Amino acid sequence: MSRMPLIRRRASLVLALGLALSPDAFAQSVDQALEKVESLDAATNYSVILDTLAPYRDLARPEVDFALASAHLNRQLQGGQGGDDFAQALRLANRAAAKEHGPSLYLLSLMHGNGWGVPADEVKSRGFLERAAKAGDVVARADYAVMLYQGRLGLPRDVATACALFAEVLVKEEVGMVASYYLGLATARGECGLGPDMDRALVLIRRAAEAGVTDAERDMGRALETGEGTERNLDAALAWYARAAAKSDAFSLWRLGMAHVNGQGRTQDTVLGVDYLKRAVSAGSADAMTSLAALLASGAGVAQDFTMARSLYQRAARAGQPQAHRDLALLHLAGQGAPADPAQAWVHYSQGLALGNAAEPRLEAAIKAAMSPAQLAAADAELARWRASRP
C-alpha cells in the first residue's frame, strides 16, 4: 500500500477537520496561519511556512497560493530542499495570477525576468509586471515606474507616467523611499514638470539614503564628494559609500578601493584597496576593472601581471570604459601580455577617442609609425564595423 507523504497526510487531515467547522471558523484559521507566516517570512523559515500553510494548499485562495509560491521560490533560491520548488512556485503563482492577484503577478514577473525555474523572457516579465501594476500591487507599481523612468525591460522611457506613479506610491511604507530617490533624481534633472532644484533633490535623495536605499546612499556620496548641491565633505562621502558598498554597490566598492590605494580620505593600504577593487569587479564595475588592470600592469603595490591586466582591460573595454581602450592601446603597442599588434593598438586608441578620451598626439604618432599600410587598412575596416554597430 502506497504511503502518502507526511506533510500531505497531515494537510489532508487538518483540511478535513477544518471543513467540518463552520466556514467562518475555518476562514479565521486560514487568516491566523497567514499572520503567522509574516513573522516566519521575516526569519526566512520557508520550510516551516510550507508546513504552516499545507492544510490550506487546496483552497486555491490567492493570498495563500502567493505565500506558498514565495516560500517555495525563496527556499530554492537559498539552496533548495525540495527538488520541485521552482515548479511548485510557478504552479501556485499562476493559479493566483489567474484571479489577477497583484503580488502573484509580480512574482511571476520576477521569475520570468530572472529565469527562475523558467527560461528568462523579458516580454513575459514585462507583461506580468504591467498586469500586477494594473491590479494595484504597490511594489509592482513602483517597479513599473522605475522601468518607465529608465526605459528598461523593453519599455519606452515615459517620465511623465513614471513621475505620476512615484508621487502616488511615495506615501507607501513598502516602496515610498524608492519613490523618494527617483523623485530626487527627477528633481535634480528638471523632470516631473519641475525646474532643476538640487536643494530639494538632495532632501529627497537623503531621505531615501537614510532609509537604506542603496542607490541613494551611493548618490549622496557622489554629491558630497563633488560638492554638487551641497558643501564638499570627503569624509561624509566615504561614509555613504561604505554603506552602499556593504550592499555590494559596484561604484561604491570601486570608490572605496581607490581611496585606500591613493590614501585619499582613508589610510593608504594597497592590499585593502585591491580587495575592494576585486569585489567591485565581481559586482560588474568597469571602472574597477580598469583601475585594477592599471595596478597589475604597473606592478604598483601588487605583483606585475600583464596577462591579467590585459584580460581586465578587455572586459572593461567591452563595457565601454574609455580609459580601458587607451591602456589596451599601450599594451598592444608595447607587446605586453601578448605579441605586439599596432593595428589593435590603433583600434583601441580610436575607440577610446570616440568614447570621450582626449587626443594624445605622441601616442597616435607612435602607433601609426609602427603600422604597415595593410595593418592600417585592416584597423580602419574594423573601426568602421564597430562604428556601424553602435546605437
Judge whether 81 lies within some domain: yes
Mean pLDDT, all residues of the chain? 89
Give yes or no for a contact between 379 and 347, defined as CB atoms under 8 angstroms apart.
yes
pTM over 0.75: yes
Give yes or no for a contact between 245 and 276, defined as CB atoms under 8 angstroms apart.
yes
CB atoms < 10 A from the CB of 298, how many? Answer: 11
Q: pLDDT tens digits, residue range 111-150?
A: 999 999 999 999 999 999 999 999 999 999 999 999 999 9
Enter the C-alpha cell of residue 318.
567591452
Judge whether 213 lies within some domain: no
pLDDT band at 41 (very low <50, low <70, confident <90, very high): low
Judge whether 114 lies within some domain: yes
pLDDT of residue 37: 74
Judge whether 154 lies within some domain: no
Q: Is 30 exposed, middle or buried (0-12, 13-18, 19+ CB in 10 A)?
A: middle
Judge whether 12 lies within some domain: yes
In angstroms, the Cα distances linking 262 to 119, 281, 362 are 44, 18, 28
Judge whether 251 lies within some domain: no
Domain total in the chain:
1
The CATH number that applies at residue 108 is: 1.25.40
Judge whether 389 lies within some domain: no
115: left (phi over 0), alpha (psi -120 to 50) or beta: left
Domain that holds residue 117: 1-132
In angstroms, the Cα distances linking 297 to 1, 330, 351 are 70, 10, 20
Judge whether 204 lies within some domain: no
Q: pLDDT tens digits, residue range 282-311?
A: 999 999 999 999 999 999 889 999 999 999
pLDDT of residue 11: 31
Residue 81 has pLDDT above 70, yes or no: no
